[in-house]
Chains A and B, each alone.
Chain A
Amino acid sequence: MGRKLLLDKAHIEGIRYYDVYRKHGGYAAAEKALKSMTPELVVEEVKKSGLRGRGGAGFPSGMKWSFLAKPEGVPRYLVCNADESEPGTFKDRYLMEFLPHLLIEGLLISSFALGTHRTYIYIRGEYAWIPDILEEAIAEAKKNGWLGQNILGTGYDLEIYVQRGAGAYICGEETALIESLEGKRGNPRIKPPFPAIKGLWECPTVVNNVETLAAVVPIINIGGDEYVKYGTGKSTGTKLISACGNINKPGVYEIEMNISVEEFIFSDEYCGGIPNGKRLKACIPGGSSVPILPANMLLTTAKGEPRMMTYESLNDGGFASGTMMGSGGFIVLDEDQCVVRHTLSLARFYHHESCGQCSPCREGTGWMKRVLMNIENGKGKMSDIDLLWDIQRKIEGNTICPLGDAAAWPVAAAIRHFRDEFEWHVNHPEESQRRNYGLAHYADPLPKPEPAPAAV
């Protein structure tokens, strides 16, 4: 049984409420931080823990915190990124829904460490019921003296606000999130300046994922040195994985980052294997934006070692032989799944969610989707596969924010590892069309389908 740090109390009935949470050791870390530590010590502890951002990029959190500019007379902000919209990723929802006080405690400690007095939780619009849970928990925390003015008599003030997004994937990108929080259109900003220098309302800002902030609580509770003992190497601590697809037990799992991918998929403790005894075909281990890997490469690294559920092992030296931990959205495909259709589904998502600010992403994502649609529907040509490859190559790395990369990588990886499936679709148009039931809705019309007027 793997050790847990975040979900160890999740099974306790009523843990969502303050009294139960407090009774089971809740807010002890906040008390410890505020009463016996300085903000600098808290940052040091987080640095020592080796905690990496759990939103997808995996940047060391302590280092990110230390980048925060601290000019005199200018407020600083902490923003909790709860805009979890990546297909296949649903771990933060679990945390916020069942352990809201864990997040609030994490926010309190992090805000104290960063010297911020206003903290925002920017939550995905589609999580319609969770803001109520969070607001209820915030009210409880405030009533019990954990928020508001002069917390625990330390002179520290903090307010936490919940802001609902309007349901745009791009608002999960930190600068687009800040724009949206400011009441503007959720377009990513061009970096630099980075939010740590100029963020919310041009003030220094740290944007952290829900899971990252929640992980601060056990770090303070057990200490950074102890936290490092969980996991391996550069992947310390535990990680929430939202597993879905063709597995027997979909759900959110907290894993210690020292288990193998094989164990995670096939052991009864986690995913419980593939339903109906089917074979594993492929997996996207870190949310829809990371490269897909075929079964043989998924279970073994380029060096022939078992692939582990860690940042470094999943990455494995690049996209040719590896993928990424990403946000932990673990999507499993069995032997019956069509990679082309799957890729089209993702391309359709990224096309729909592109903000339209920069040309490669605005125009390229739609082009990729349409070419994929042709291939999937048996209307593709062999040259379309090379065209797809070229389009994704022209998008990747050339856009303002990582959405362009997120749109390009799944296509690139699918062609790299499953080119034969694309070719099958081209060579078997009739079978592709026959097999392609119920996908008429994929042929969504262009924005303005009416023909151009004759006069210019």
Chain B
Amino acid sequence: MAEEKKLFKVKIDNITVEVEPGTTILNAARKIGGDVVPPAMCYYSKLQGSGGKCRTCLVKVSKGSDADPRPMPKLVASCRTTVMDGMEVGNITSPEVLDARKGVVEFLLLNHPLDCPVCDQAGECHLQDLGYEHGADGTRYEFKRRTFEQVDIGDQIKLHMTRCILCYRCVFTADQLTNKREHGVLGRGEAAEIGTYIHKALDNDFIGNVIDVCPVGALTDKTFRFKNRVWFLKPVDAHRNCDKCCGKTVLWMRGNEVYRVTARKDKYGEVEEFICNTCRFDKKEAKDWTIEGPRKIDRHSVISQGHYVDTVKPKDPLPDVLDGRQPKLLMDIHTVSEVNRPEIDLSKIEGPAHSDDFNIRK
């Protein structure tokens, strides 16, 4: 009989969970789920070596382990720190963590424009969520922000470096998913930027995945840019036989029109299986796909607005209160007001309606 694997007991925000040795604090927290899961802007479980850079997942280790109960002297990145048996971690219960996280959000937003109304990532942006949950209501930064020209890296991907928070996810993706080094980080410090070697194009069958892994709107799909807002689209699971990838995707549709194709993401916004460029950019017809059914989206997401499955419309209580009368029949405005004149047909007025059109003395 195989020897039973010893599990480590970890307490995160006073909730105990048992995990395998080698698990990170973040993944232990994900096992618990809910609010105790630290946010992660740069960590991506599917990408080797990712994490530790954005510092949004900092947590307080108040007890190192049963063997060595000393607390860790500094906050640690939960995505890169493995658990020990008996470890105690403070996330949302630690004021120190919340304060540090607030600071990190402020730093991330120093040079990230709040152009959510025109950003293609709006609605599925991790920084939006992070800012909402942990940020301050205003900025204290009063200096000029850094800006960049937009760059076409390849014929289907646009890099808007101004929005980039240098999470390195796309760099890891390009390094690990493609067979040659596609792009990296140029410059250092505040001057660091994502770039290709002398504006070389990103040209690889799987390079479109850099769009999916980008937590903000720095890398966008040129076949979808400004075509629609994600919350107006209906996400459906679909698949096709593809000789390059798994062919399992999410189609973002309006009516029968496919606006964009993305890989399927889990509840932490991480791609389940990477998809090829052909599926992503070239198959934009509904007939290319076998549609499986509506995609379940976290109901807290703006995308889920209007897309709930099996929802029941609540009963309107007013008719009961009003003895069966419909509220719109409570009062006919035309009977009490001389301002509105029902005999005036607005569609017959040339140009926009004007007060002169309603002048009863006329």
Contact = CB atoms under 8 A, between A and B. Distances in A.
A447 B187 CA distance: 10
A398 B187 contact: no
B144 interface: yes
Contact of A447 (B115, B140, B191): B191
Interface in A197-223: none
Interface in A372-407: 387, 393-395, 397-400
A356 B107 contact: no
**Which of A168, A356, A448, A456 gathers the greatest number of chain B CB atoms within 10 Å?**
A456
Contacts of B99: 394
B189 A362 contact: yes
Contact of A364 (B53, B107, B115, B146): B107
A412 to B, nearest CB: 15
A423 interface: no
Interface secondary structure of B, over-half rule: loop
Of A359, A360, A363, A370, most buried by chain B (CB within 10 Å of CB) is A359
A356 B188 contact: yes
Nearest to B108: A359
B223 interface: no
Interface stretch (B158-166, B204-212, B331-339): B158-166
B353 interface: no
A446 B147 CA distance: 9
B108 A363 contact: yes
A352 B191 CA distance: 9
A357 interface: yes
B162 A452 contact: yes
Contacts of B193: 447
B74 A397 contact: yes
A357 B53 contact: yes
Contacts of A452: 113, 147, 162
B245 interface: no
A99 B108 CA distance: 47
A355 B168 CA distance: 13
Contacts of A397: 74-75
B190 A360 contact: no
Contact of A394 (B103, B150, B188, B190): B103
B54 A394 contact: no
Contacts of B284: none
A370 B141 CA distance: 10
Interface in B34-66: 51-56, 58
- What is the size category of the interface that chain B forms with chain A? 35 or more
A390 B256 CA distance: 53
A394 B192 CA distance: 21
Given A190-B80, A356-B166, A398 B188 contact: no
A355 B166 CA distance: 11
B104 A351 contact: no
Interface string A412-456: 000000000000000000000000000000000011111111001
Contact of A453 (B58, B107, B150, B187): B150
Interface string A346-366: 000001111111111011111
B177 interface: no
Contact of A448 (B110, B118, B147): B147
A404 B336 CA distance: 70
Given A360-B103, A394-B106, A354 B188 contact: yes
A399 B55 contact: yes
A266 interface: no
A185 interface: yes
Contact of B141 (A351, A367, A451): A367
A356 B189 contact: yes
B55 A398 contact: yes
A297 to B, nearest CB: 24
Contacts of A362: 107, 166, 189-190, 192
A456 B193 CA distance: 18
B77 interface: yes
B185 A356 contact: yes
Chain A: interface secondary structure? loop
Given A366-B189, A451-B147, A360 B107 contact: yes
B119 interface: yes
A192 B185 CA distance: 24
Nearest to B106: A394
B96 to A, nearest CB: 10
Contact of B189 (A190, A352, A456): A352
B259 to A, nearest CB: 18
Contact of B148 (A185, A387, A448): A448
B189 A446 contact: no
Nearest to B191: A447
Contacts of B108: 359, 363
Interface string B76-106: 0100101000000000000000011001101
Contacts of B141: 367
Contacts of A400: 52-53, 55, 77
Contacts of A451: 147
Contacts of B74: 397-398
Nearest to B73: A397
A359 B82 CA distance: 22
Contacts of B145: 446
Given A363-B111, A448-B148, A351 B55 contact: no
Contacts of B187: 356, 447
Q: Looking at B106, B147, B188, which has the most chain A CB atoms within 10 Å of its CB?
A: B188
Interface string B145-189: 111111000000000101001101000000000000000110111
Nearest to A404: B55
Nearest to A405: B74
Contacts of B144: 446, 449
29 contacts: A168-B188, A170-B188, A190-B51, A353-B189, A354-B189, A356-B166, A357-B168, A358-B52, A358-B53, A358-B55, A359-B53, A359-B107, A359-B166, A360-B107, A362-B107, A363-B107, A363-B110, A365-B190, A394-B103, A395-B103, A400-B52, A400-B53, A446-B146, A446-B190, A447-B146, A447-B190, A447-B193, A456-B118, A456-B119
Interface of B: 51-56, 58, 74-75, 77, 80, 82, 99-100, 103-104, 106-108, 110-111, 113, 115, 118-119, 140-141, 143-150, 160, 162, 165-166, 168, 184-185, 187-193
Given A394-B104, A452-B147, 16 more contacts: A356-B187, A356-B188, A356-B189, A356-B191, A359-B108, A360-B104, A362-B166, A363-B190, A367-B107, A367-B141, A370-B143, A387-B140, A393-B103, A394-B99, A398-B55, A450-B147
Interface of A: 168, 170, 185, 190, 192, 351-360, 362-367, 370, 387, 393-395, 397-400, 446-453, 456
- 9 tightest Cβ-Cβ pairs between the two chains A and B: A394-B103, A356-B192, A447-B191, A354-B189, A452-B147, A190-B52, A363-B107, A397-B74, A356-B189
